[in-house]
C-alpha cells in the first residue's frame, strides 16, 4: 500500500532540495521610456534579453544580462517587471512580485534612496507575514536578514565603470546561483578588473557592519563574505541569521513545510494524536533527507509535540492539567490546533581556516 500521502510529499520535497537549491529566481524591477511599461517578462536564458526585452534601453538590457552570469550555476530564471520611467514609486511592481515565487529582488540600475527604502520596507513586511522574499539593495542598512546591503562602488569591467546600484543584479544572480551546500564567500567575479580599494581592516569592518562587499585580492575580484544586513540579534534570531547561506536554508525549510502541510495535511486529516504523529514522522523524514543532502548536520534533527504550548492551550480552554502526565498532555485533543517543536542544525560552509604548522 505504500506510505501515507503526506510522508510521500515530504520525502519528495527533501529528495529534490539540492536540485531546487541550485536554481534560484531573481526578480528585477526596471523603469524604461522606450519599452512598454507595466509588463512582466519571464526569462530563462540571457539570449532572451535581446528578443523579449529588445524594446528596452541598452542599460536596462545589460542590467538583466548581468543577473544571468550567476556563480556555480546561473539563476533558474529572471523575472523582469517594467514600469514606465515616469512611475513615482515601485508599488505596482512589488504588488506583482507578491504573487510570484522569487528569491531575490533588485530595483532599477539607477535605484534611488527612496526606492531602496520602499523595497526594504516591503521585504520586511512580507517576511513578517511568513513569505521568504529577499533583496539585494545598494547602500541600504536595513538591519534585516532579508536584505543584502551591497556597498562596493567603482566597479570596473573592461572600459566601463559601474555604480553600486548598477551591479546589484549581478550580485543577486550570483547569490541565486549559489547551491545550498556552499556559500558565496570568496566567489570570484571574473569579469571585474577593479573596485573600490579597501584595506583588510576596512573590509573586515564593513562585513561586521552587515555590508556585502567585493574586493581585489591581488589576483582577482571576489566576494568578501556572504552576509546580509542584519545587525540587531535576539534570542530567536541569533548571529547565524547574519549569514546568507543559513537564511537561505531556513527560508527553504519554512516554505517546504508550509507548502507541503497545506497541500497534503491541513483539512485532510482528523486532529487525533495518531495523525499528529503522522505529521511529525513526515517532517522527520524531510529533515533526514536534508541531512543526507548535506544541508543539515547528520543526526541533529528532532520533531515532537510541544507539550508546554499544548498545556497552555488546554488551560486556556478551562482544562485542569495539574494531574496530567506529559504524555497525557501530548495526547489530549486540541480542537483544530497542532503544536509542534523541532530542532535542527544547519551546516555552514567552510569559511575560516586556522592552521598551525610545526617545523
User: Is 107 a residue whose pLDDT tops 70?
Assistant: yes
Contacts of 279 (CB under 8 A, 6+ apart): 6, 261, 265, 269, 338, 340
**Beta-bridge mates of residue 52:** none
Q: How confident is the model at residue 83 (pLDDT cuts 50, 70, 90)?
A: very high
The topology (CATH level 3) of 12-223 is: Ribosomal Protein S8; Chain: A, domain 1 (3.30.1370)
Spatial separation of the C-alpha atoms in residues 286 and 128, rounded to whole Å: 25
List the one residue out of 333, 281, 336, 338 whose CA is nearest residue 305: 338
Question: How many CB atoms are located within 10 Å of the residue 160 CB?
Answer: 9
Question: What is d(CA 90, CA 81) in angstroms, rounded to the nearest whole number?
Answer: 10
Decide which of 264 and 159 is more confident: 159
Whether the per-residue pLDDT at 2 is higher than 60: the answer is no
Under the banding of pLDDT at 50, 70 and 90, the label for residue 3 is very low
Q: For residue 328, give the C-alpha cell.
A: 497525557
Tell me: the pLDDT tens digits for 119-142? Answer: 999 999 999 998 999 999 999 999
Q: What percent of the chain has pLDDT over 90?
A: 75
SS3 at position 201: helix
Break the chain into its structural domains and give their ranges. 12-223
Q: How far out from the chain centre does Cα 266 lie?
A: 25
CA-CA distance, 228 to 31, in Å (whole number)? 26
Span 223-234, pLDDT tens digits: 999 999 999 998
Residue 38 DSSP code: S
What's the pLDDT score for residue 172?
98
Residues of the chain above pLDDT 70, percent: 90
The SS3 of residue 359 is coil
Which grid cell sits at 287?
529533515
Q: Are 176 and 132 in contact (CB under 8 A)?
A: no
Kindly report which listed range (34-43, 212-221, 281-290) carries the lowest average pLDDT score.
34-43
User: What is the per-residue pLDDT for 169?
Assistant: 98
Query: What is the DSSP-derived secondary structure letter of residue 239?
Result: G
Question: Helix, strand, or coil here: 149?
Answer: strand
User: How far is residue 134's CA from residue 24's CA, in Å, rounded to a whole number?
Assistant: 12
> Is 30 buried (19+), middle (13-18) or exposed (0-12) by CB count in 10 A?
buried
Distance CA 27, CA 312 (A): 42
Closest CA to 304 of 339, 270, 262, 272: 339
Where does residue 228 fall: left (phi above 0), alpha (psi -120 to 50 degrees), or beta otherwise? beta
Across residues 243-248, what is the average pLDDT?
94
Mean pLDDT of 150-171: 97
Q: What's the whole-number mean pLDDT along residues 336-351?
A: 86
Write out the H or E segment, with its range, that includes residue 155.
strand 155-157
Amino acid at each position: 500500500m505504500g506510505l501515507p500521502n503526506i510522508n510521500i510529499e515530504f520525502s519528495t520535497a527533501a529528495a529534490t532540495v539540492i536540485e531546487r537549491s541550485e536554481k534560484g529566481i531573481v526578480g528585477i524591477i526596471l523603469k524604461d521610456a522606450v519599452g512598454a511599461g507595466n509588463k512582466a517578462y519571464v526569462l530563462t536564458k540571457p539570449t532572451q534579453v535581446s528578443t523579449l526585452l529588445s524594446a528596452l534601453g541598452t542599460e536596462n538590457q545589460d542590467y538583466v544580462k548581468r543577473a544571468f552570469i550567476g556563480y556555480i550555476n546561473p539563476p533558474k530564471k529572471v523575472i523582469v517587471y517594467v514600469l514606465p520611467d515616469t512611475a513615482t514609486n515601485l508599488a505596482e511592481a512589488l504588488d506583482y512580485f507578491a504573487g510570484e515565487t522569487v528569491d531575490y529582488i533588485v530595483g532599477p540600475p539607477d535605484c534611488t534612496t527612496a526606492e531602496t527604502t520602499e523595497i526594504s520596507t516591503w521585504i520586511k513586511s512580507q517576511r513578517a507575514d511568513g513569505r521568504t522574499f529577499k533583496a539585494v539593495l545598494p547602500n541600504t542598512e536595513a538591519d534585516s536578514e532579508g536584505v543584502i546591503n551591497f556597498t562596493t562602488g567603482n566597479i570596473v569591467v573592461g572600459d566601463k565603470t559601474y555604480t553600486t546600484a548598477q551591479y546589484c543584479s549581478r550580485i543577486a544572480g550570483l547569490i541565486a546561483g549559489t547551491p545550498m551546500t556552499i556559500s558565496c564567500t570568496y566567489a570570484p567575479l571574473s569579469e571585474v578588473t577593479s573596485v573600490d580599494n579597501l584595506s583588510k581592516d576596512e573590509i573586515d569592518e564593513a562585513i561586521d557592519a552587515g555590508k556585502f562587499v567585493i574586493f581585489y585580492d591581488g589576483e582577482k575580484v571576489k566576494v568578501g563574505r556572504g552576509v546580509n544586513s542584519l545587525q540587531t540579534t535576539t534570542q530567536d534570531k541569533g548571529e547565524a541569521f547574519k549569514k546568507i547561506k543559513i537564511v537561505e536554508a531556513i527560508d527553504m525549510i519554512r516554505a517546504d513545510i508550509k507548502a507541503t502541510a497545506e497541500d497534503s495535511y491541513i483539512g485532510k486529516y482528523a486532529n487525533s494524536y495518531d495523525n499528529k504523529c503522522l505529521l511529525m514522522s513526515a517532517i522527520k523524514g524531510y529533515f533526514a533527507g536534508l541531512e543526507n543532502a548535506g544541508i543539515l548536520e547528520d543526526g541533529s534533527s528532532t520533531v515532537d509535540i510541544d507539550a508546554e504550548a499544548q498545556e497552555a492551550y488546554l488551560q486556556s480552554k478551562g482544562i485542569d492539567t495539574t494531574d496530567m502526565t506529559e504524555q497525557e498532555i501530548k495526547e489530549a485533543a486540541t480542537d483544530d490546533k497542532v503544536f509542534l517543536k523541532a530542532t535542527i542544525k544547519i551546516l555552514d560552509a567552510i569559511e575560516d581556516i586556522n592552521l598551525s604548522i610545526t617545523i
